[in-house]
Structure 1
Amino acid sequence: MFAVSARSFLKATGLSLAFHAEPLFDGVGLTLAPGDRVALVGPNGVGKSSLLKVLAGRLSAIAGRVEYGPDARVGYFFQQVPDPGQSVGAFLREPLAELFAAEARLHELERGIESGRLSLLDEYGTLLERFETLGGWTARARVDEVSQRLGVAHLDEHTPLARVSGGEQARLMLARVLLTEPSILLLDEPTNHLDADAVAWLGDYLAAFPGALLVISHDRAFLDRVATQVVELDGIHDELQTYEGGYTAYRAEKQARWQRLLLDYEAQEKYRARLAEDIEATKGHAAATESATANDHWRRIAKKVAKKAKARERRLDRELQSARWIAEPRTRPTLTLAFPDPENDALAGLHVKQLPVMAGDRTLFELADLEIKPGARILISGPNGAGKSSLLAALAARAEPGAVAVLPQTHDGLRLETSVIDYFRSRVPVYPEDAEQILTGYLFGEEQWEAPLRALSAGELRRLLLAVAVNEGAPILMLDEPTNYLDFDSLDVVERAVRAFTGTVLVVSHDRYFAQAAGLSQEWVVRAGELDC
């Protein structure tokens, strides 16, 4: 692994960014040093991915600066390949281009020396030393191990990136980042599209990573394994909120902080109300005394009391404006989600015979006879590429029209120029006013209804697809990796909603935390060209 020095650090100060003139974050500061393993969390749409892009130098902030240590080597993972025409092999080897070029030249020199051209010995010695410095003897082993662990070793190295699936592209991107052996890793949702074995390997790799790590992830068990600190971009405070420990510790401490803040605010408000009431009573008593008597002595005393009450009122105003006065605690709105109970129980099950499960024009396996009983709650698991998503697609295609609502794994194929409300109404036939009301429950404000899909974050797109799946009203739900991209609060809501749904549920997921919370009681495993029920 690449040697990491104390000078491999990243420091950000005063970062601010806006999107369509709306501020995303303002004055954000963050420092990463070797050994730091930090999770960046927060609601969808607050700018987490944008902040990561700024830190990686892929996006310019409108204010602030990012500094790197002299030995810093930044590895940035995001799920979009730069050149779809590039081959799989060339894409993976590109970070090690110098090393493989040196290896090829060494072979040429060896052949020349063997033929008697001894003048090549000096170049050979110099190049061999460089080859060893670059870790050449273990390079191919590193490529093979990372490719195998991340499930891309089966891909033909001559295949263009455009011809592999979105999930395979994401895994290739992650493999390429790890092969650069960076000293600072910036990872945006690295566990999406990884099976359980790959997530476990990545967790072990990152837990032992000697450099600095900043990771955005929805995978709660993964964050407990990897993170030693959580920073939250909550869309309310300007500064990042910091918590020690992983996901479990973060949620417990966040709840504890909220309760303490709420108690402090309530005590403060009681004090403010008592003080304001006392001031008003004093002012009223002084005014009544002054107007009720002609005695100059008592009138002077009443005026003094009124002045003191006024002074106390000004002091209270100053306290209300002071930094130590607690503002009313605020939270962001949460997702509203409830699957309607199926209206037609007869359609709540599914029985198929002689069903081929296809990936493109290739048959992965065939189901001779499969029955899904009404009310079944099924988790579909298995390694990457085994055919889990293809199985869902095949089953959905055999179902009666309107019987199945599908949440796809990826957002591929969406017409990104379509507006949010037009896309929703194209899938759910409702009046515009009803669509607006429904979308509001899914945290889409009025300013987003006419926004194009390309303006949404991955998490916001996920919420929109959920809105469609929920409101189609089908008795069978087929959810493909439903936890991808969603923030923690939204995950809690989805888990409760799926658990409460009385119809039939099939879920492809590697998130055991979600499977348990959603009440999935049966498991199917897809592997080695077969379905194990």
Structure 2
Amino acid sequence: MLSISNLSFYFGSRALYENANLHIKPKTKIGLIGANGTGKSTLLRLISGEYSPDGGNISKSGECTIGFLNQDLLSYQTDDSILEVAMQAFEKQLELQHKIDAVLHKMETNYEDKDIDVLAHLQEEFERLDGYTIQAKTEEILEGLGFSTEDLSRPLRLFSGGWRMRVMLAKLLLQKPALLLLDEPTNHLDLPSIEWVEKYIHDYEGSIVVVSHDRYFLDRTIDHIAEVSNAKITLYPGNYSFYMEEKALRNEVQKGAYENQQAQIRQTERFIERFKAKASKARQVQSRVKALDKIDIIDDVIDEKAKVNFKFNFGTQPGRFILFLEQISKAYGEKIILKNTSATINRGDKIALIGANGKGKSTLLRIISGTEKIEGERRLGHNVIESFFAQHQLESLQVENSLLDELKSTGTAKTEMELRSILGCFLFSGEEVFKKIKVLSGGEKSRVALAKVLISQANFLLLDEPTNHLDMQSVNILIQALQQYEGSYVVVSHDRFFVSQIANKIWYLEDYEIKEYPGSFEEYETWQETRKVELPSGNKKATEKPKPEIEKTIAPTTPVVNNAKQIEKLEAKIMDLENKKGEIETKMSDLAQNNEFQEMKTWEEKLRLVSNELSQVMSEWETLIA
């Protein structure tokens, strides 16, 4: 259907593609992957004809129509309703509808017999093209992508860039081109919409090439992986999980071949060095020199699984409770977000806040951070130091700073060597640490901003869509960093693989309340599927609160919240007593090593008194939170 042969394309002096090849067959669904900057989006623009190759050719069959969803469509605006914009996909049907309306309008004042024949012919053609169903099809797809029925009549210009992108996606899906090119289609979709698109693409009858960093999405939609690396395109059959297994096997074979060749080269070089001065060996030496010149060098395997090899420490340990929200309500005019809901975040909680867009996830994150006005009470726990990452914070990076200076600006006590090590973990190595912020891509700026958050000494992190603009390698680094992080955090994300790796609790918003599932994302998904089966759509019981053993909604009268002040005081006292106890035990250990047993009796009594007091305070604390 479409063939790419010996493709070359240069960005300045840098080769994005050099003699690259790819063949796209009918009904093939390809996931295009690779690190940021390798030219994935560029390849889609080359296929669509927007760019012209510097070498080689891209040929397609006559019936190969192409539809391209790209990030430039975010800026498209019009006063037409989103229903009208999406229905532009049916160009021929709309043209026929216009002609039918014109004939009917003429017949109202100037009736002629020939108009009946024209009208019949037009209506027959309109029906053949399913013209009477195009509005219903358009509404179905738009609502599948998250729009309400009321939204369909609103002008496109009133929607944000992410929602405009959904309209453009709907238009493309309705056009049903033979080859659909999608550039990061899930970037601006919430979980329900992603799942809907997954099913649609899975059932799509044409071919698809999709650029995505969402592993779950790729696993559920595509049947081939095309990897862009070293200016070449390598095609793997199967989904992303199969690609990972196959890539590991290929790397193992390549590593073995590389090591064998290097051993052969070393052996040949030793022979040349040893006998180059002997006339009797001149012919053999020359033969080996020529063989060495002609050898096709096998590249070593590049380790793309970057590992974070340091810990993000913080100096201040928080109390057992991080945050209390009591009787929280929030509304924007008539739109209610939260209503008389309460929640508690405990030390060690790794919370993923998930759900559909428009439910108030980012609003709740701002409430937790204390930057959003609310009704009710928000209270931070003892010794809590928070840090907030959001996409708009990329704009706060000092563009004239180097990467190293930007990390130094956090006031961290880390040495320059430690900061360079941290930047290395975030894929900035060597002289790259002296790059100016202003020359970085969106993904690179995200990595710098995340590094700043993670070295900020905060023991409580708030992260709003931290994986946006990150490639798979960068997401893997962030996962490792958060898995090593010893503090607590709340993360808003639609990346299911990311969430499955970093969360031990799931929060979601339902019935204007904060709901909590006390388990992993996989367990939450399984429970939700079970819930859908048990409570089918339309059943009133579907809106009822689940059983307490599965889902926890923190009631407004929770004793923990009502006694927050006493709990904070007791926590501070517990930490003080635990520190004293630790100091006494250290002192006794030193005395024992020096055989000063007489003095130890005094310290034993001190330890007994502190331990008794600690037990008493702990008992009071447990009573209050029971």
> Given the two structures, how large is their TM-score scaled by the length of structure 2?
0.71
Which of 213, 217, 220 is equivalent to 1:222? 217
Which of 66, 74, 80 is equivalent to 1:81? 74
> Which whole-Å CA distance do the structure 2 matches of 1:262 and 1:413 have between them?
39
Change (3 A) 1:210 1:426: farther
What does residue 392 of structure 1 align with? 365
Q: Is the 8 A contact 1:340 1:501 kept in 2?
A: yes
Q: Is the 8 A contact 1:75 1:185 kept in 2?
A: yes
Structure 1 window deviating more from structure 2 (259-268 vs 188-197): it is 188-197
SS of equivalent residue, structure 1 residue 144: helix
What does residue 340 of structure 1 align with? 312
1:301-347 Cα deviation digits (max 9, x unpaired): xx32x3144224424423xx423x42333456847585612322227
Q: Is the 8 A contact 1:147 1:175 kept in 2?
A: yes
Matching residue's letter, 1:349:
I
> Which whole-Å CA distance do the structure 2 matches of 1:420 and 1:160 have between them?
41
> Which whole-Å CA distance do the structure 2 matches of 1:402 and 1:163 have between them?
40
SS of equivalent residue, structure 1 residue 507: strand
Q: Is the 8 A contact 1:417 1:452 kept in 2?
A: yes
> Which whole-Å CA distance do the structure 1 matches of 2:91 and 2:268 have between them?
73
Change (3 A) 1:254 1:374: same
Distance apart, 1:249 and its partner CA: 0.7
SS of equivalent residue, structure 1 residue 491: helix
Change (3 A) 1:151 1:474: same
Which of 242, 246, 250 is equivalent to 1:257? 250
1:347-406 Cα deviation digits (max 9, x unpaired): 781223354446699542245432211211112122232121222122123587993333
What does residue 270 of structure 1 align with? 263
Give the total of aligned pairs.
499
Q: Is the 8 A contact 2:74 2:161 kept in 1?
A: no
Distance apart, 1:138 and its partner CA: 1.8
Structure 1 window deviating more from structure 2 (335-344 vs 187-196): it is 335-344
Q: Is the 8 A contact 2:64 2:178 kept in 1?
A: yes
SS of equivalent residue, structure 1 residue 460: helix
C-alpha RMSD over aligned residues = 3.5
Matching residue's letter, 2:233:
L
> Which whole-Å CA distance do the structure 1 matches of 2:75 and 2:58 have between them?
23
SS of equivalent residue, structure 1 residue 58: coil
What does residue 240 of structure 2 align with? 247
Change (3 A) 1:473 1:46: farther
SS of equivalent residue, structure 1 residue 233: strand
Q: Is the 8 A contact 2:70 2:183 kept in 1?
A: yes
Q: Is the 8 A contact 2:224 2:235 kept in 1?
A: yes
Change (3 A) 1:427 1:196: farther
What does residue 197 of structure 1 align with? 192
Query: Is 1:149 the equivalent of 2:130?
Result: no
> Which whole-Å CA distance do the structure 2 matches of 1:316 and 1:177 have between them?
55
Change (3 A) 1:277 1:436: closer
Which of 508, 512, 517 is equivalent to 1:525? 508
Q: Is the 8 A contact 1:15 1:26 kept in 2?
A: yes
Change (3 A) 1:497 1:413: closer
What does residue 45 of structure 1 align with? 37
**How do 1:198-213 and structure 2 match up within 5 A?**
198-213=193-208
**How do 1:151-170 and structure 2 match up within 5 A?**
151-154=146-149, 156-157=151-152, 159-170=154-165
Distance apart, 1:437 and its partner CA: 6.8
Question: Which is greater in Rg?
Answer: 2
Distance apart, 1:114 and its partner CA: 6.5
> Which whole-Å CA distance do the structure 1 matches of 2:147 and 2:399 have between them?
33
> Which whole-Å CA distance do the structure 1 matches of 2:130 and 2:409 have between them?
54
Matching residue's letter, 1:92:
A
What does residue 427 of structure 2 align with? 443
What does residue 296 of structure 1 align with? none
Q: Is the 8 A contact 1:405 1:476 kept in 2?
A: yes
**How do 1:93-492 and structure 2 match up within 5 A?**
93-107=87-101, 109-110=103-104, 113=107, 117-118=111-112, 119-154=114-149, 156-157=151-152, 159-234=154-229, 236=230, 238-283=231-276, 286=278, 303-304=279-280, 306-318=281-293, 321-323=294-296, 325-331=297-303, 334=306, 336=308, 340-346=312-318, 349-357=322-330, 362-366=335-339, 368-397=341-370, 403-408=385-390, 410=391, 414=395, 418=399, 421=402, 424=406, 428=410, 439-444=423-428, 446=431, 450=435, 453=438, 456-492=440-476
Distance apart, 1:124 and its partner CA: 1.5
Which of 21, 36, 52 is equivalent to 1:29? 21
Q: Is the 8 A contact 2:393 2:449 kept in 1?
A: no
1:488-516 Cα deviation digits (max 9, x unpaired): 22222222221121111212233333223
Q: Is the 8 A contact 1:45 1:459 kept in 2?
A: no
1:147-184 Cα deviation digits (max 9, x unpaired): 11110235634545453234323322321221222111
Q: Is the 8 A contact 1:357 1:363 kept in 2?
A: yes
Query: Comparing both structures, which one devotes a greater share of its residues to helix?
Result: 2
Change (3 A) 1:114 1:129: same
Query: Is 1:57 the equivalent of 2:30?
Result: no
> Which whole-Å CA distance do the structure 2 matches of 1:345 and 1:70 have between them?
67
Distance apart, 1:12 and its partner CA: 2.7
Q: Is the 8 A contact 2:420 2:433 kept in 1?
A: no
Change (3 A) 1:16 1:470: farther
| Identity of matched residues, % | 27
> Which whole-Å CA distance do the structure 2 matches of 1:468 and 1:97 have between them?
50
> Which whole-Å CA distance do the structure 2 matches of 1:491 and 1:278 have between them?
48
> Which whole-Å CA distance do the structure 2 matches of 1:438 and 1:531 have between them?
36
Change (3 A) 1:69 1:419: farther
1:209-253 Cα deviation digits (max 9, x unpaired): 22111011112122122211111102x2x3211211110110111
Distance apart, 1:21 and its partner CA: 4.0
Change (3 A) 1:465 1:20: farther
Matching residue's letter, 2:480:
R
> Which whole-Å CA distance do the structure 2 matches of 1:448 and 1:95 have between them?
47
Matching residue's letter, 2:172:
V
> Which whole-Å CA distance do the structure 1 matches of 2:265 and 2:103 have between them?
85
Q: Is the 8 A contact 2:462 2:490 kept in 1?
A: yes
Change (3 A) 1:405 1:92: farther
> Which whole-Å CA distance do the structure 2 matches of 1:189 and 1:330 have between them?
25
Query: Is 1:72 the equivalent of 2:44?
Result: no
> Which whole-Å CA distance do the structure 2 matches of 1:493 and 1:358 have between them?
37
SS of equivalent residue, structure 1 residue 38: strand
> Which whole-Å CA distance do the structure 1 matches of 2:186 and 2:157 have between them?
21
Change (3 A) 1:413 1:283: closer
> Which whole-Å CA distance do the structure 2 matches of 1:480 and 1:68 have between them?
42
Greater RCO (Cα-Cα under 8 Å, separation 6 or more): 1
